[in-house]
Amino acid sequence: MSSRYNHKVIEKKWQKIWSERNIFSTEKNINKKKYYVLEMFPYPSGKIHMGHVRNYTLGDVVARYKKMKGFNVLHPMGWDAFGLPAENAAITEKKHPEEWTYKNIKTMKNQLLQMGLSLDWEREIATCHPEYYKHEQKFFIDLFNAGLAYKKEAEVNWDPVDKTVLANEQVIDGKGWRSGAVVEKKKLSQWFLKISKYSDELLNDLDKLDKWPNKVKIMQSNWIGKSVGAEIDFQLEQGSKKITVFTTRPDTIFGASFIALSTEHDLTNDLAKSNSSIKDFIEECRILNPDKTKKGFNTGLSVNHPFIKEKRIPVFIANFVLMEYGLGAIFGCPAHDQRDLDFANEYNLEVITVVKPSNYGLKKFQVRNTAFTENGEVINSDFLNGLKSEAAKEKIINLLEEKKIGQKKINYKLRDWGISRQRFWGCPIPIIYREDGEILAVDEVDLPVKLPHVQNFTESSSTLNNIADWKETTCRQTGLKAYRETDTFDTFFESSWYYFRYCNARLNKPFNKKDIDYWLPVDQYIGGIEHAILHLLYSRFFTKALRDLGYFDLGEPFKGLFTQGMVCHETYKDNNNNWRSPEEVETIDSLGNIKVQKKTEFTPCYRDVRGPARWFVGAKLRTEENFSGDSFEKLQALLQKRRATQPIGKLSCGSVFTNPSGDFAGRLIETSGLKGCRIGGAVVSEKHANFILNENNASATDIERLILHIQDIVKCKTGVILETEVKIVGNSMSRALETI
């Protein structure tokens, strides 16, 4: 008898036994402690990939462990089934997207079954099934009646390839998150959810999530973007109108050299009515990415400075000013905001330094090419001179309120969630427009509002607006003619509540409150960090909104969160001694959005890759079919050497400095006595001096300050100027500030 493990026979045998005995089927048992483990459910794209295998294996280990420890374990699975890929495939094959989707679900389910995962398949859901989405249509009606869902005309992000609106969170470096096309600005009438109403609660409740990764909480905190500052009224010199701006730096008011308005500001629109050049400028701004190109239009208007007599400040329209944040108007202080400084240099505007570093001494301080953005000591500011920034802020706000030209104000960067999508394969929004002008929610007895079945699905079918016999309807209450809302929900609407449905997936209502009280919150949630400000933030909002609608008492959906890392390996050379290049790579932007890109989009160089401005987090490599034992041993030896000489396994920003000609950066740092040197949570590695470790929640500022300190000390002791191998993203600390 062979001792070789025959997985095909043995695994099939035991999977059959598990299925027959319903080993992984779970029922509510109030006498047992529950444990809810969940992986983010997959999109049925056709076949599972190694990312799925990795995630579901992680969840399976946790689920089996907790089950063996005596917990009543809920470990379900379902399908995030709406979306553009199904629609595009249907257009190609001239089939209904439903057919393509359910075919893929069948394939992927069979693959998952072969893995033998401990999943409760009796709770399986698919978000494209009417028995699922009828409940979210009811949620929307409740949100609508509560004033948490509304429609307005707004400037939106338009993907010209996918031909749909994108949420702000779905725009990455000015491009669509799926298509990669440059996003355009377009005015459309759209449905929104008032997520902004929950800004403060979403921010404050992050402190309760002690089993979430700090990086995710930081990303959400930054995205919500709470800002404490002031609203200031600037009187227009031409006429009686005023421009009200919001600023977080009222202490820099004496450094103001321009006012900038959003292209959507009321004054901008008024000026455009009589000025075709302004109208053309607004249109131009719709296709410009403000992160890369900052443009302004001088209106010829000016405002009076609130504290400097006879000083006039020019008014511009600028593409980088957002209407949704603050009031759609800012005052520019170029010396203390890099964006403002770049703008001022472009349009030859005054740069007035009004804050200096607190420890700078009596030397004259002046900003040149790099803005000084930190707090410090106020200078060149009349009655504010000598005050620290925080004291100056308080004083100027008090004066503004006394003069009745301003007030203290708290703002949030988080904007309301635009949920309208101009596509077919999504959940219909349950709204009708009656011929007398009334906008009404669909009567609940008429739910679900189902998608029509379209034979020979084509490009023209890909929007409900083109399907007249579905669009036309009547009002149940009055019998008057009406037409249906032809937009569908953003697919994140479905994924914002699916974890509730698993508690009892066969109920005729979305869930039972007693089931929610028992199973929720999810004890361990597993998925990618790319959803930090998408799915995870939306789910938190959805939970709080449903709570306020009386569905349950829960405030947070996920108790524990695990964001998986990437499977990494050493790069190596092929048989011709050429460095292998990846077939494709996974990249991430500053907001944590991950995108798969082909190698053809990049040009590899030594220690550098030219291409889109993103960061690499993983790669797919193609190996030789006959990877020899000798090669494997060499690879293992290389890895062992690396583990012995570098701080592998510790949080670090990698190799920090490039090696100067004929020497090693690590040796120079070590001989300069800098091993173990610490600033805040950042410390020079004792094992390899060219590594900076994060040992105590180091901030970016801690790391950058330590880098600057190392450069200064090494230069002083060795005469060598170390150049960084790491890249500073955003505004770096001010080394370019000059003295006179």
- DSSP string of 152-176? EEEEEEEETTTTEEE-GGGEETTEE
Helix/strand/coil for 383: helix
Dig out the tokens for 137 from the structure.
């249509």
| Alpha-carbon dihedral sign for residues 76, 77, 81, 84 | positive
Dig out the tokens for 625 from the structure.
């079919």
Instruction: Give CA–CA dist 228/410, Å, rounded.
Output: 5
Residue 71: C-alpha distances to residues 19, 60, 196 (Å): 20, 14, 38
Distance of CA 158 to the CA centre of its chain: 18
Please tell me which residue in 350, 601, 670, 725 is annotated as part of the active site.
Answer: 725
151 forms beta bridges with 191
Closest by Cα among 491, 486, 501, 484 to 417: 491
Non-local (6+) Cβ contacts of 594 within 8 A are 528, 529, 530, 586, 587, 588, 617
Closest by Cα among 574, 564, 582, 520 to 546: 520
Instruction: Give CA–CA dist 617/611, Å, rounded.
Output: 15
The vertex-360 CA angle with 357 and 363, nearest 5°, equals: 125
The values of phi and psi at residue 185, to 5°, are: -95, 135
Distance of CA 45 to the CA centre of its chain: 23
Taking CB atoms within 8 Å and a gap of at least 24, the contacts of 26-31 are 26/72, 26/73, 26/74, 26/75, 26/120, 26/123, 28/72, 28/514, 28/515, 28/518, 28/519, 29/72, 30/518
Dig out the tokens for 520 from the structure.
């929720």
Please tell me which residue in 302, 381, 655, 685 is annotated as part of the active site.
Answer: 655
The one-letter code for the residue type at 709 is: H
Q: How many CB atoms lie within 10 A of CB 649?
A: 7
Closest by Cα among 410, 481, 356 to 737: 356
Is the backbone peptide bond immediately before 42 cis, with ω within 30 degrees of 0?
no
Instruction: Give CA–CA dist 451/425, Å, rounded.
Output: 8
Instruction: Give CA–CA dist 234/259, Å, rounded.
Output: 9
Instruction: Give CA–CA dist 493/600, Å, rounded.
Output: 34
Instruction: Give CA–CA dist 361/376, Å, rounded.
Output: 12
Closest by Cα among 303, 306, 369, 310 to 342: 369
Identify whether 655 is a catalytic site residue. Answer: yes
Q: Which residue has the tokens 């957002």?
A: 322
Dig out the tokens for 32 from the structure.
């047992």
The runs of H, that is alpha helices, within 116-164 are 130-145
Asked if 662 and 702 touch (Cβ cutoff 8 Å), the reply is no
Non-local (6+) Cβ contacts of 45 within 8 A are 85, 104, 108
Identify whether 123 is a catalytic site residue. Answer: no
Non-local (6+) Cβ contacts of 425 within 8 A are 82, 83, 84, 86, 87, 90, 97, 101, 128, 451, 488
Please tell me which residue in 4, 506, 607, 610 is annotated as part of the active site.
Answer: 607
Q: How many CB atoms lie within 10 A of CB 386?
A: 11
585 forms beta bridges with 597, 619
Identify whether 624 is a catalytic site residue. Answer: no
Residue 325: C-alpha distances to residues 247, 411, 695 (Å): 11, 7, 36
Instruction: Give CA–CA dist 679/240, Å, rounded.
Output: 53
Residues marked as catalytic? 607, 655, 725
